[in-house]
Amino acid sequence: MHDQAPTSLLLASSVHDIKNSLGMLLNTLDSVIETTPINSDLQRHQFATLRGEAARINNSLIYLLGLYRLQRHELPLQIQAVYVADFLDEQIAANELLFSIRQISVQRDCDEALAGYFDPTLIAGIIGNVLVNAARYASKSIRVSAIEGDKGSVAIEICDDGPGFPEKMLESSHHTQRGIDFNSGSTNLGLFFAAEVAHLHRRGNQHGVIELSNLSPNGSRFKLILP
């Protein structure tokens, strides 16, 4: 059998090239959607599907590259002081086109003075993916909020009014560090990556965690706690 290291490097390089090409396609798709009048519900649904699924594929490629770098210990954290409200506004704005064509309202609730210490690039990848998935399943609205937790931690929540998480996903979220079923699709890849990146954020003997839950009577809640 050939050496696995060059094969892994080749796969990572190929994924990187695909991600770059997909990024160009996403930019072109956004331009087409923004300049094309939406004349029917069918057209709106088609645009939403194209934009949402392309974003999900792009996120999956980012996660594959991230996990490859994690495995090789080449994903150092770039911890910074971040104003959380501004950070969340940026993530919402990055997906504004998707929210618009799906006709979903997004509410952000966060103290303007709240600051956290985390890697904004990695956490943006997590929040962006959760927002894309929330837009896919939400009925009318998404709520993004953040509060200061114990000992200066920051808790970020994203809630939607959709059907909620499948029971299997809720069960998987309790043991992401021990492995996960990738056969169910890219959502679990995003969940696994989110758990890994959250766990990298440490302060003393505390580390970041993610939590999934369903709301009553309907809806889902994703929670990210960063120490």
State yes or no: pLDDT of 185 exceeds 50: no
209-214 and 105-110 as β-strands: parallel, antiparallel, unpaired? unpaired
| For range 90-95, the mean pLDDT | 94
| Mean pLDDT (whole number) for 147-169 | 91
Contact (Cβ atoms closer than 8 angstroms) between residue 38 and residue 47: yes
Given pLDDT bands bounded at 50, 70 and 90, which one contains residue 91? very high
**120 vs 67 pLDDT, higher one:** 120
Q: In terms of pLDDT, which residue wins out, 88 or 171?
A: 88
Domain ranges of the chain: 4-71, 80-226
What is the pLDDT, as a whole number, of residue 87?
97
Tell me: domain 80-226, CATH 3.30.565.10, correct?
yes
In the predicted model, is pLDDT for residue 153 greater than 50? Answer: yes
How many beta carbons lie within 10 A of that of residue 43, not counting itself?
Answer: 14
Residue 35: both structure tokens together: 């300049």
Helical segments of 72-119, H only: 84-94, 96-101
Residue 140 has pLDDT above 80, yes or no: yes
pTM for the structure as a whole: 0.79
The pLDDT mean for the chain works out to 85
